[in-house]
Amino acid sequence: MAGTGWSCNLGTLTCTRNDALAASASYPAITLTVNVNNNAPASIINMVSVSGGGETFTADSIANDPTTIIVRPANFGATATSTSQVSLAWDAVLGATGYQIFRSSNNGPFVMIGSPTTNNFPDTMLTPNNLCLFRAGDRWIEHWIAEQQRPGHDNPLYR
């Protein structure tokens, strides 16, 4: 939980500031990031209240924000189709309008490589013999992109 110019306390879920607000102005937003349990309800209502500054009219000091919980993709998997391409697929998520796919190569940082609107994605920009981790939501899968399988050898393209 943070916001520019705000002093936030996660333990009490409060943010304060000491500067005066000019007429017709607004303070910067406060962002709260949360982890959602797998068994969370499909919809919740976030509530926020403000106070202080000698305010006398308090009817507009509370706001409600309905929030839809979209679960993480299930059955996320990858199939190597060549030494430089992997086909990623997962179960469609009810209510999702798109997905973000991230890849980490050789233990490097995760980088977004695509944002498909369907529940599959072909990654065609791989380098042979690199360890790749793929992530959609907080699911991830590890793949080793091996050399092209040679006839007569039991050398899988991925693991």
**Domain finish residue from 36, 69, 102:** 69
3-27 pLDDT, tens digit per residue, is: 999 999 989 988 998 888 888 888 8
Listed residue (140, 153, 103, 146) closest to 123, CA to CA: 103
Confidence band for 137, pLDDT divided at 50, 70 and 90: low
Q: Mean of the pLDDT values across residues 106-131?
A: 86
**Domain finish residue from 69, 93, 122:** 69
Q: Tell whether 81 and 124 lie within a shared domain.
A: yes
Measured between alpha carbons, how far is 117 from 97 in angstroms, rounded to an integer? Answer: 6
Token pair for 146: 């091996």
Residue 33 within a domain? yes
Q: For the chain, how many structural domains are there in total?
A: 2
Q: What is the CATH number of the domain that holds 132?
A: 2.60.40.10
N- to C-terminal Cα separation, the chain: 39
Q: Domain containing 126: what range?
A: 77-145
Q: Mean of the pLDDT values across residues 95-115?
A: 84
- Residue 131 neighbours by CB distance under 10 Å: 14
Q: Tell whether 32 and 82 lie within a shared domain.
A: no
User: Is 32 in contact with 12 (CB distance < 8 Å)?
Assistant: no
Give yes or no for residue 72 having a pLDDT over 80: no
Q: Tell whether 90 and 41 lie within a shared domain.
A: no
The residues with which 36 forms a beta bridge, in sequence order, are none
129 vs 21 pLDDT, higher one = 21
**Domain finish residue from 19, 41, 69:** 69
User: Is 2 in contact with 31 (CB distance < 8 Å)?
Assistant: yes
Does the global pTM surpass 0.75?
no
Residue 158 within a domain? no
Measured between alpha carbons, how far is 71 from 99 in angstroms, rounded to an integer? Answer: 12
Give yes or no for residue 128 having a pLDDT over 50: yes
Token pair for 96: 């999702």
Give yes or no for residue 50 having a pLDDT over 60: yes
